[in-house]
Structures are given as structure tokens and as C-alpha cells.
Amino acid sequence: MRAKLFILIFVCCAAALLFPSMPGTDSLKTVFRLTDEPNEVIVRGMSGSALTINISFGDEEVEQLIRELQAPYPLLLLDMEWAERYPEIVQLIKKRNIPTGLLGHAGMNYEQNLPLLNEQLEKYEDFFGTKPLWFRTSDEQFPYTLRNALWDIEVNALGSSVRWHTGEPPPVIEGEIISLPHHREQRITLTDFRKLTETRKNKSLEDVLFNMSIKTKKMPE
């Protein structure tokens, strides 16, 4: 995997240098598959901390959070039912060029209803004009059928190293991917978000993953 990643980095850097005006060269939009096998879920990189926020609830709180975000931006995993309720917030996310991915339902829902994934992907494409690079289930469980489907459509399964939303920030783990919730039943406050960012060296998800290597976990079948 490391050799493959070196080649991938070289190609992306070369494309960015030779064709700086091409859309997508400022991000991973041109890179679609970061693992070697469909039974791998990305949960950690190599250095720094990448913040990800799962959004399925809220309007004013979410809008305030988005307006206060500063680069390097966290990755926003968006529930499509939420996005349909608040398209104006989605437009704000697009205007600020904040990276996004697709937040799905609990993993077992796809074992029983795989077409659900296609429906959610279509809605995401309606909003953003392209399919997502990242997909996360709400419970970070990825059944075998789902992982194979994501592999086939070239969307990366994204888990996390740590889940947190309040209290004392967790200890720093180099290369960590932190999952933060913004759901009806559990959501991070802006105060807690600020407290967390002050405790670590925050990077974009791309920078955390592309620091020479990525670490993955195997998911049981």
C-alpha cells in the first residue's frame, strides 16, 4: 500500500504543478480510492489531527459553527435528509468551500436495503455535482455488502480513531481522525469545538492521510 500511495501522491502533485487551473487539483477530488481492498475502512493517518463533524440535526447552531470555521477546515459528513431541510446551509458550506462527505444511516440498514446507498448518493450529487469521496455510516459499522458496494463505486469508507463531543478533550494520537456529532440526541457545542481545536495540531483530512502513509483497520465479514 505504501508504494501505491507514493505513486498516487506523485501523480497528484505533478498534476497540480502542470495543470494548476484544473478543477479538483487543490484537493483529493481526483483521487477516488485510497485502500487496496474493499474490506478496509480508513480510521487513521500518520500525523496531526483531522476533525470530522457528522451533521444530521440543527439549523442556527450549525450555521453559526460553519461561519466560524477556519482553515484547515474539518470534513463535514452530511445527512441528506438534513441537507434537504436546510439547503441554504448547504449553499453556505459550498460558498466557503468546506470539504464534505456523505453521512449515511446505521450500517445494518444497508445490509437489508442496499438501494438506500444509491438514493443517498444521488441526492449528494444533486447538491454538489459530484459523488462524495468519503462515506461514513452513523454508527461507523460497515457490513461486508456495504464495503463491497462502496469499493465498486469508488467511494472511500471513513471511520474514525476517536469519537468525542464534550468533557475533557481526549489525549492526542498522531494521525487521529476525530468524529464529532451534531445530532438531535447528541451534539457538540461551539465552546467544546473551540476547546478541542486548541489542544492539537489540526490538519485537513487530506494532509493527515497523505503524510506518506495511511493506517486502516480490517472489518470482519
Q: What is the pLDDT of residues 129-170, one digit of tens each?
A: 999 999 999 999 999 999 999 999 999 999 999 999 999 999
Q: What is the DSSP letter of 179?
A: E
Strands 176-182 and 162-163: parallel
Residue 159 burial by Cβ neighbours in a 10 Å radius (0-12, 13-18, 19+): buried
Residue type, 80: M
213 vs 174, which has greater pLDDT? 174
Those residues with Cβ within 8 angstroms of residue 199's Cβ, 6 or more apart along the chain or in another chain: 169, 172
Co-location of 139 and 199 in the same domain: yes
Co-location of 27 and 96 in the same domain: no
Co-location of 117 and 155 in the same domain: yes
Co-location of 9 and 107 in the same domain: no
Distances (CA, A) of 124 to 91, 96, 121, 196, 221: 13, 17, 5, 29, 28
Q: Please tell me the total count of domains within the chain.
A: 2
Co-location of 25 and 48 in the same domain: no
pTM: 0.82
| pLDDT at 37 (0 to 100) | 65
pLDDT band of 213, cuts 50, 70, 90 = very low
At 79 the three-state DSSP class reads: strand
β strands within the chain, DSSP E: 40-44, 49-55, 75-79, 100-103, 134-136, 156-157, 162-163, 176-182, 202-203, 215-218
Co-location of 17 and 54 in the same domain: no
- Does the pLDDT at position 17 exceed 80? no
Co-location of 14 and 89 in the same domain: no
Count of alpha carbons within 13 Å of 4, Cβ hemisphere only? 8
| Domain hosting residue 8, numbered range | 1-31
Q: Which helix (H) or strand (E) holds 158?
A: none
Co-location of 76 and 168 in the same domain: yes
Co-location of 99 and 6 in the same domain: no
Co-location of 72 and 159 in the same domain: yes
Average pLDDT score over residue span 54-65: 97
Q: Which residues pair with 49 in a beta bridge?
A: 176, 202
- Average the pLDDT over each of 12-26, 112-126, 172-186 and give the range with the smallest value: 12-26
Co-location of 114 and 160 in the same domain: yes
| pLDDT at 150 (0 to 100) | 95
| pLDDT at 210 (0 to 100) | 85
Question: Residue 145 belongs to a domain with what CATH number?
Answer: 3.20.20.370
Cα 99 to Cα 209: distance, rounded to the nearest angstrom? 15
Co-location of 5 and 63 in the same domain: no
Give the chain's mean pLDDT: 84
